Structure formats: C-alpha cells, structure tokens
Structure 1
Amino acid sequence: MIRLLACLALGLSATALGATFDGQSTRDLEARQLAIQQELNSLARASLRGGVGSIGYRTKPVDDATLGYWIEINLERTYPIDEVVLVPVLWRDMEEGFRADAFPVAFQIIAGTDEDREGHVIAEYIRDENVGLGISPLILTVPETQASWIRLEVTQLSKRQHDDAYVFQLAEVFVFSGNKNVALRCPVETPSRRAPFEPSGAWDASFLVDGATPYLMNSARGDSSHGYIGGFGKDPTLLIDLGEIYSLSEIHLHAVEQSDTVPQAFAGDLGIPKHFRIEVSLTPEFTDPVVLLDYQMENVAGLGPIMMWNIPETCGRYVRVVTIEKSETVGVPNRLSRTGFAEIELLSNGVNVAEGKPAWTVPEKSGVRPPQTLTDGMNLFGEILPMRRWMHELAQRHQLNLELQDLMTELNFRHQRQERMVRWMARGLVALVFVVIFVVLYNRMLRIRHEARVRERIAANLHDELGANLHAIGLWSDIAQQSVDSPDSLQESLQRIRGLTERTGASARFCSNMLEAKGVCEDLVDDMKREASRLLADIQYEIHFDGEVAINALKRRVRIDIYLFFKEALTNIIRHGEASSAQISLSVKNHKVELVITDDGCGVTGGLPKSLQRRAKLMRAKAGVEHPEQGGTRVWLKLKAR
C-alpha cells in the first residue's frame, strides 16, 4: 500500500500503476476523461513560488549511489503519527519545465520513541530511476504509530540535474498526527560534515521542517482576497477577537503577495516585520498578555509564503501582533517600509478559529487595505486549505493528470484507428461509386454504339428501300401513262404508286442523323476549301489556314460545328452581302480556335444573324460581327477546344 501511494504521488506510468483499458468502451473512457477534468477543476493547483527563500536540505555530491544518508527529526514528545509527506526539491528543466530533482531512488522510514531508540520500519519506498518524477509531494500513509522521532534512511541516491552528481536533497518533511504537523520546526539531526557549504543561506537541515514548500497555496476555488498592508513607514498593531476563549496550538502567517509580475518586485519580505511578537489575552485591554510567538528575522531565506509554528497550548480570546522592529525590505528605504499579512491563522485542535472573526488595527485606518482581510480565510488565489488537505490535493492532482495523460493517449489511439477505418470506408465507397459510374458509362457507351450500328443499318436499309421505291414509283408512273385508256389498269397503277408513297414517307421519318455519318468533315481544311470554291464561284476570295495539323486534330463534333458556321456565313454573304471579294482565315493555337470571315459587301444590320448566334451557342463559343472603317463586314468566331 505504501509503495503504491509513492508511485501515484511521484508519477510512474499507467502500466506501472496497473491501469488497463482492456474491456472498456471508448464511451466509458470519454466519460472518465470528463470526470477527471471536472475533478481537477476542484483540486488545488501546483502553482510555484518565486523570489528567494528557504529551499530545503541537501548533502555533498558523491560518486557512489549506494552511499547511505539519513536525517532524523526529534518530535520532542510522543505523538500517534499516521502519515509522512515528503516534498521534493524542484529543478527548472529548460525543455520539460519544472521537475523533482535528486529525489532518492530507495529509502525507508523508521520511527520510535525515547524508550525505543532502535525503532521499526513504518514505510519503504523503491522507484524506477528511469521514470521521470513530477513536482507533487510524496504521500506515505503509515499505520498509526506512537513516535517521538522518525528517521529517513536513504539506500540509493539519484543524480541531480545540473551536474549528474549523486546527492540527497528534500524541500520539506511533514509528519502528521491527525491534521497537525508535529515535525514543524523540530530539531533535525544529520550526519556530521555531510552538508555542503551554502553561502546563500537557502539550504539548511532546519529548512526541512520550517513548513515552507516550493508551492503557493492555490486552492482554485473561492474568491480572491488581497491581504492587509499597512501605510508607508507605519507599524500598526494588529488585533483579532476570537469571540470566545480557545486553546491555541498553531500559528500560520500568510505573506502578502510580493507582486503579480515575473520577476517579482520584492524578494519575499514585503510586509513582514523584522521583529514582531504575537500575544494572547483573556481581556481586550491585554492586562494579562501571554507571548505566543516572538519572531526575529535572521535571513530573508528563512521567509516563505506561509510561515508556521507549533506553540504550547495557550488559552485566550484576544490576539495581537505587535511590531517591534520594522521590516527591512530589500531595496526599499526604511521610511517606506510597510507591515501586513494576507491571512493570520490561529489553530485550535487543527481548526482555524480566527477565520471570520473581527480584526482591526491600532491606530485605526493605518493601512491601504481593510484589516478584515486578515481573517477572511482567503488569499490571493482563493480559499486557504489545511496543510494536510493541501498536500493531498496536490498529490491527487498529479495522480489524475497521469491517468488523464494515459486516457488521452488511449483515446487518441482509438480515435486514430477509427479515423483510419473511416478513411478506408470512404475510399471503398469512392471506389464503389467509381465502379458504378464506370459500369453505367460503359453500358451507355455500349448502348450508344449499338444504337449507332442500328441507325447505320436503318440508314442503309432506307437508302436501298428509298432507291427501290423511287425507281418503282417511276415505273408505275410510266405504266399509268400508258394505261390512260384502260381505267382498270390505271386504277391499279395509281394504287400501287399510292402504297409506295406511303411506305417511302414512313421510312423517311426514321432517317438517322446524317451529321454523324462517316465521311463528313474528316478533313476540315479540304471541306472548307471545297465549300468556298463552290459557294464563292463568282467572288474573288482568299482562304488561309494556320496550324492545319491542329485543325484536323480537333474533335469531330467541333469540326462539324465550325464547318456549319462557316457554311452559313458564306451563305449570308451570297444572299445579302452583295460582295465582290472575301478573306477567310482559320487558326488553332494553344487550344484556341479563331475563324474570321471578311467581305467588302454592304454589310448586315441588326448584329450577328440569329442562325449564326444559334450555331455559336451550340458550340459554347463567342461570335460577333464588326464593320471595319474601310467598309464591308467582318464575322468572327472564337472558342476553346482540345
């Protein structure tokens, strides 16, 4: 159970967690995805702090991963502990973002009492060193154990990022007895001469239990609240009325926001006095004050977004925070220093009894924000959570993000598989449609060919029959002339002629389209020359062709249409133009056909004749008529054709 919780908190793969999606439908996975996203919206977010402050504890680098390290926390009294939380040191990876750095690969936690200095193992942890870590805390739920000390013994180290050296480092250790962190600011013992020299002051064994973590408390719910901040150069006394007498055992002070920019405007000490005292009393006049906390800042690295202290249980109703020495904010003159906090939590049996209680300052109106924000239970990000619940929500968020990532991978795989199936089905449908169209067109072509053969046969039959009928009609006409004096013979001849006429008319009604007959416009150039010489026999004319090969390569229908347009235009010249000369040119270039016919006649009125317009429309071509300045008429035709 302990090892499983460790895996969940630090982010092993879904396979390592035993997660499987076999047997689950895509709809079930999508429903789970939605449920996770909704649950993530209700959990605290892993927002990271900026500025400077305490980081934690680390050892000197070594070359041997099995070189043992240990830390021991003296709880100073015996508590029934049931959970240990380890917060990793975070490293800024330039490619992957923040990640846990040099978190041990394997360790065990031993707990005991003053009477039992040997103790016993209450938790063990082993992870795959090749698996990347998250940034959330590691939650180790242990059987309830009476302990006055705990010791973390590392059996295998991991490498830190920037130099690949083996070190042991942690940001914070929480030891919970119920909702109380009993390890807070307790003495910490480490192996002698194992800690490196840290001139920054941000690394020290005491920072393992100072309550400061790399996170900002961002509960992601509730209203945002800007903390109280006093006026420039003033040091007001902050007062809270708890409404009744409580036994106080913990104090949590939340620092005001240092700025909303990156980087921050302040190092982390804005609003926190260099030396202050928190007192409690049974009377509003503080005739019997008891000091709960006397804090004097030694180093800005000792500050954090949340400063916590366990205090001896003390009864009282009225609490005041007295500034003894003003803050010395880095880079800010003393006359511009200010005092303030985002929230003051006073805990009794793990419950913040100051929340919602009246708060004021002496002197009054000594700040730019109302003092009621000191006890509204909110910070800049929303609701303030109990520490244990906060750590659990951060770990739960990380666990859900891992599951969500695996769900997204599985869903993407399934969606891609579905898309591939849809694509193949679409391709199959397209192929089927293509086959159907091909079959329809092929059948239509066969039918057209069949109809053409039928028409050709009918035309041949009609030709033969019409020729025979016409010849027979001639013969019977001769007989009828010879039978003028014989009425009976004449009547029979006339009846025969009548029958042949009816048969000939019936046959003519079914004559096929002669434009599609073989031999028409096989050579458009020769046909146009022949037609011009026949129709323009009495007129001087010139005819010119540009690209004869391309002209005869045009589709047969196009050649026939051009020929008919040309023939109709010449007919119009003969009928109406009164011309003595004509020029004809036909060119085919770059799939463009242009026919121009010019004469010196009297011209046409009313634009292009309707017969030519109709023919151009059938060709989907452009045609027009022009009247040159020197007289005459020019008819032109332009179309695109292959």
Structure 2
Amino acid sequence: MTVLLVDTATADSLKNRSLSGLEQRLLEIDTHLSQLANYGLGTGIGAIGYRSTAHETDNHSEWIEIDFGKIVPLNEVMLVPAIRRDTGSRFQADGFPLHFRLVAGTDEEREGQVVAEYTDMDKVLPRIAPFAIPCGGILASWIRIEAEQLSLRAFDDLYVFQLSEILAFSSEANVALHKPAKASSNMNIENPGWDARYVVDGFMPYLMDAAEGNQSVAYLSPPDIDPTPSLMIDLGQSFPLSRVHLHVVDQSDTLPQAFLGDFGIPKHMRIEGANSSDFSDAKPLLDLRPETIYDMGPIMMLAFPETTVRYLRFKVLEPTPTALYGGIAPRMGFAEIEVFSKGRNIALNKPVSTSFKLSAPDRPLSNLTDGLNIYGSILPIREWLTQLATRHEFEAERPRISEELNQRYTRQKKNLTRMSWLAVLLASGTIITMLVDRIIRQRAIYRTRERIAADLHDELGANIHAIGLLGDLAQAAKNSPEKIDKLLQRMRALTERTGAAARHCTNLLEAQGLYEDLVEDMRRTSARIMADLDHTISFDGEEVLKRLKPRKRIDLFLFYKECLINVLRHSGATRVTTQLTANSKELDLTITDNGHGLIGEIPSSLKRRARLLGAQMSSEKSETGGTRICLSLKLKKFGV
C-alpha cells in the first residue's frame, strides 16, 4: 500500500519557512497529487448509506454499531461521508458529525474502549474524501461510531448523523463488509436509499479513478446468445477463495445516462467453484440475486465462506428483464472481475472463456481480468481509499502554502518597487551630488582665481607705484650719479621681484591641477619671496599632504604666501623658519621670524584665509623677539 507523507503545517509554521522551502513543498504536493487517485463521483440511482433521525439542534447523541462476528486485529477504520451537491455544483459531506468517537470492543467487553475521538477543533470538515482512523491492531469483534455533535443536513437545516460507508480493515480485508449493523435511530421509512445495512454494503459514492494505468472498456457479451450464458476463469492452480469483486459496466459519459447502472448484471447469477475444468465437482460459492437497484453499485463486493478451487464459473440463471430499456436483448458484462485469496487478487491476467462462441472484437474477454477500468488501474480498496484521504490532506494544505507564497510574492513585489524607487532616488541623488560638487569645485576654483587675481592686482599695483616713486627720486637726483645708481639698483631689484610675482600668479591661473605637489610649490614660492632673507623650510608627512583636497591645498598655500609677504613687508626680519607637519589627524604650520614683532592685531588677510581653510590660527612672540604664526587644521579620515 502506498503511503505518502502529509505535512499538517499550521499558519505560524508556514511563516517560519523560507521562500524556497515553501516553493519546494508546493512542488512536492503537486507531484504527490499527480500520483494519487482522483475523486470520481458516481451518479445514477442506488443505496446512499445510513441516516439517523433528524433533530432541531446539534447536541444529540446518535450511534451506529457493526458486529464482525469474530475477534479480529483491527488496523484502520474508514468513514466515507454521505455527499451532497450544493447550489454551486460543488460536492460536500452532508451530515458528517462534528464531534464523534470510535469505540471498539469484544462480546465479553461491551463497554469497549475509545480508539479515537475528534471534535470540530480537528478541522475534519469540509471534505468529500474518506476519513481514516488508525487502530493500531487492536483486537475487536465490534466497532461503534458515537456522534456527540451533529451537523446540518443541507436541504432542510436539520441536524442528522449520516455516513455512506464504514469500512474496517484487518490487514487488507474489510471485515465490516455485509456484517450486521444497528443504530440508535434509523431513518429508512421516507427514503429507501437510507438504511443502516447500506453502511456496510460496499457501495461508495466514488468511482475508482486511479492516477496510473491505461484505459480499458468493459466486456459485454454480444446480443442474441443463449439467455443463460456462463463465464469461466482458470486461476492456474487451486486457491482458498473468500471474496469476489464485480466491477459493473461503466456508466456512459453523457448527461443524462442511458442506464441506471445495472446494465449487464443478470437478475440471478450463480458463482461456482471447481477443481476440475468440466466443473464435475462444482461447488456453489454464492448466488447473486439483486432485488432492487439498491442492491447494485459500481463495485459489488461479494464475500463467501473460504473455499479452495481452481476454476470459477459465473452462470446466468435468469437474464435481466428488457422491458425497462425498450426490449433490447439482455447482455452479460462486467468492467472487471477480481477474485481474492488472502487479500490478493489472483485472477489478474488469468484466461477467461465463455459458453458461447460469439464475441465482440472491441470488447475482448481479456478485459475482464486486465486490472484496468475506463479510468486506469484498479487499486486494492484500502489503498484506493487511503489515496483519496491523502489527496484531501494535500489539497487542504496546498491553498495555505499558495496563500503564504502569494503574500510573500506580494511583499517581494512591493519591496522590489521600493528598491526600484530607491535606486532611482539614489541615482538622482548621485547625479545631483555630482552636479553640486562640480558647481562647488568650479566656484572654489573661481574664487581662488579671483583671490589670486586680486593679489596680483594689489602686488603689481603697489610695486608699480613704488617704481614710479623711485623714478621721481632718480629724476630729482640726476646731478648725483651715486644716488641715481643706488636708485636704479633698487628699481631693478623691484622690477625683477614684480616680474617673478607676475610669472607665479600667471602660472597659478593657467594651471589645470591646482597645487598637486604642495611641498614643491611651497619650496619654490618661499625661494622667490624670501630670496634676500635667511629662510629654512621643513616638511613632515608629505604623503598626507598629497591626499589633501585641491581647495585645501590652494588655501593652505595662499595662507603660507600671505604670511611670507607680510613678513617681508612689515617685520624687518633677516631670518625666517617654516615647519609643516601632517599626520592622519591634524596638520600644523608654523612660521617664525626674527623681526621686530607683530604690531596690533593679526592682519585681516590672514584671518580671512584661515577661516576659508577651516583652521585655527594664533600668533605669539618668538624667542628672538620676532613673531610666530601657528596654523592648526584637523584632518578627516579621507582628507579635507
């Protein structure tokens, strides 16, 4: 018997599963469902099952009990619900109890013991599938289903206890088949399709629709043959037989159908067994004599006392009346004949013969024992019902997983939309940042060039004015060659310095990369400005200086240049010392001279440049009596 693992996951446990785990589980369910029998529901007229008395409320106790006649080990009990069609053309269990228990016992123990109990909290409903109750091999000679809370009957909203079939399996044998059944109440007066005995007649509302196997049409004898024909099966050797299953001719696939479901079933047929091929030692196994349509179903399960035989003969004693179907000739036929020995069908693929010569080529005799019906393979009854019960569990689990997946996919879609918008915003922000940064850089370069241009204007203007004054003095001293010579020397030196300053500022304005080598630029500038003074300059941390941003390098250089110009113009110093140190945290610039010291406050030009640089500046008197200017700049991790 095939057993498939069903995961009864709760909503909370589903939320704890990964997305890939849910997708894998959904794939497993679909794979299993493709391997399970389908709910093929029968139509037509026939016995329905058991129905109790109807009640106004649900809190009434009803029960039905089946006596096996002997003690057997009980492995499983199957409850097949009575099924109704609702207004939406869907099928649902009708009158299946909300709270019930299975009690089993022996004749010596009439109270019995509770094998299992279920309430509405167990979510047994809704369903159309059989409900399986494991019994664990308990020894019992009877079982009782006790309903404590009833459910509504659909058509009149009254509360009843209804079941289509109860099967009790001891291994593969249904020990409840055709056994005596009694109930607390039995509503069999108004509708002959309901009676306690129908709950063990072997007739169920399902058609066997297996997921595997090829289709095979039912065998039908040709018309115009002997009205009392026979079919014979050779089992190949003698077997102890105890049960025969006759699968009736399949109903047509049209609506309405042409037959009630009794087509091909004789009014009276005897099943005989023998060990001789001529049936000289024939033993009657049972007589099939359906009195009403309620005595026939899709699978007629017939039990008889165990008898050891090799040959079986199905002999028609009285054909089917033909008046009901317009006087057509009676025919004998079945979709399959199963013969069981110790729970196993030993008639599978065994040869079949007839008492007549005629045969229909499209309905060969071999179809009677090929193990197939019009839907596919014919399964053992217990396995078939187990597959239907398992299908129910998978189909109940699948929507929960699909719903959780859909919620996850919806959240993923929303998150993806958010991420897309975020990516757009980030891209826009990046573009805006680049544009702003470019504008800031261009503005910084512009302001720097503007400042340099202003410095150039101020310095050249002052120098040109000084040259003009010297020219006036030279004009006045034209009769004193010595004074003229000194004035001309001073004019020459001032002209050279002015030219050097002009060349320096011009190179700065035209440079593509502003002060990429700050150390070299500072050396060059100090050498030009301090040409007539004793000047020393030292650096520590040149690698840090190279990582400074261009604007900081420019501002630092201009600060340094302004300091040198102020020293040159105002301090009267003969010696100047510059020290620049930098590490990963800060930068310190110190300029010391031996002049006459700072008079008044720090020049505003230096304050302005320190502020533009974002640095702290201070001044103090040096040891030699001159001035020491200190600049301190905090550095960030990646430069400033």
Query: Does residue 1:386 correspond to 2:380, yes or no?
Result: yes
Name which of 328, 334, 345 aligns with 1:352.
Answer: 345
- The amino acid across from 1:314 in the alignment is T
- The amino acid across from 1:204 in the alignment is D
- Matched with 2:155 is 162
Shift of the 376–80 alpha-carbon distance from structure 1 to 2, 3 Å rule, reads same
Name which of 60, 71, 76 aligns with 1:67.
Answer: 60
- Matched with 2:304 is 311
Q: Distance in 2 between matches of 1:330 and 1:209?
A: 31
- Matched with 1:153 is 146
Structure 2: tracts of 5 or more residues without a match: 443-640
Query: Does residue 1:275 correspond to 2:271, yes or no?
Result: no
Query: How many angstroms does 1:412 deviate by?
Result: 0.9
SS for the counterpart of 1:379 is: coil
Query: How many angstroms does 1:127 deviate by?
Result: 2.1
Query: Does residue 1:223 correspond to 2:217, yes or no?
Result: no
Normalised by the size of structure 2, how large is the TM-score? Answer: 0.64
- Matched with 1:202 is 193
Shift of the 132–177 alpha-carbon distance from structure 1 to 2, 3 Å rule, reads closer
- The amino acid across from 1:358 in the alignment is P
Query: Does residue 1:249 correspond to 2:242, yes or no?
Result: yes
- Matched with 1:413 is 407
Name which of 371, 375, 380 aligns with 2:369.
Answer: 375
Name which of 75, 79, 98 aligns with 1:82.
Answer: 75
Offset from partner CA, 1:597-622 (integer Å, 9 cap, x none): xxxxxxxxxxxxxxxxxxxxxxxxxx
Query: Does residue 1:332 correspond to 2:325, yes or no?
Result: yes
Identity %: 43
- Matched with 1:537 is none
- Matched with 2:204 is 213
Offset from partner CA, 1:153-172 (integer Å, 9 cap, x none): 21111111222111010000
Offset from partner CA, 1:420-470 (integer Å, 9 cap, x none): 11111122233444556677899999999xxxxxxxxxxxxxxxxxxxxxx
- Size of the aligned set, in residue pairs, is 438
- Matched with 2:394 is 400
Normalised by the size of structure 1, how large is the TM-score? Answer: 0.64
Query: How many angstroms does 1:220 deviate by?
Result: 1.2
Name which of 168, 175, 186 aligns with 2:179.
Answer: 186
Query: How many angstroms does 1:182 deviate by?
Result: 0.5
Q: Distance in 1 between matches of 2:224 and 2:122?
A: 53
Offset from partner CA, 1:451-490 (integer Å, 9 cap, x none): xxxxxxxxxxxxxxxxxxxxxxxxxxxxxxxxxxxxxxxx
- Matched with 2:468 is none
User: Do the aligned partners of 1:233 and 1:335 also contact (CA within 8 Å) in 2?
Assistant: no
Name which of 357, 361, 367 aligns with 1:364.
Answer: 357
User: Do the aligned partners of 2:188 and 2:195 also contact (CA within 8 Å) in 1?
Assistant: no
Q: Distance in 2 between matches of 1:135 and 1:163?
A: 20
Q: Distance in 2 between matches of 1:407 and 1:233?
A: 59
Query: Does residue 1:237 correspond to 2:230, yes or no?
Result: yes
SS for the counterpart of 1:81 is: strand
Query: How many angstroms does 1:377 deviate by?
Result: 0.7
Asked which structure has the greater CA Rg, the reply is 2
Offset from partner CA, 1:2-28 (integer Å, 9 cap, x none): xxx9xx99x9x853xx87124422112
User: Do the aligned partners of 2:84 and 2:94 also contact (CA within 8 Å) in 1?
Assistant: yes
Query: Does residue 1:57 correspond to 2:50, yes or no?
Result: yes
Query: Does residue 1:284 correspond to 2:255, yes or no?
Result: no
Map 1:610-621; keep pairs closer than 5 Å: none
Shift of the 330–67 alpha-carbon distance from structure 1 to 2, 3 Å rule, reads farther
SS for the counterpart of 2:57 is: coil
Provide the aligned C-alpha RMSD in A. Answer: 2.8
- The amino acid across from 1:403 in the alignment is E
Structure 1: tracts of 5 or more residues without a match: 449-642
- The amino acid across from 1:198 in the alignment is E
- The amino acid across from 1:36 in the alignment is I
Map 1:461-500; keep pairs closer than 5 Å: none
Q: Distance in 2 between matches of 1:355 and 1:253?
A: 13
Query: How many angstroms does 1:132 deviate by?
Result: 4.2
Offset from partner CA, 1:282-334 (integer Å, 9 cap, x none): 01111111112201111113211101022110110010111122224684134
Q: Distance in 2 between matches of 1:209 and 1:401?
A: 28
Q: Distance in 1 between matches of 2:319 and 2:365?
A: 18
Q: Distance in 1 between matches of 2:273 and 2:288?
A: 15
- Matched with 1:569 is none
Q: Distance in 2 between matches of 1:266 and 1:137?
A: 27
SS for the counterpart of 1:37 is: helix
Query: Does residue 1:111 correspond to 2:104, yes or no?
Result: yes
SS for the counterpart of 1:420 is: helix
SS for the counterpart of 1:378 is: coil
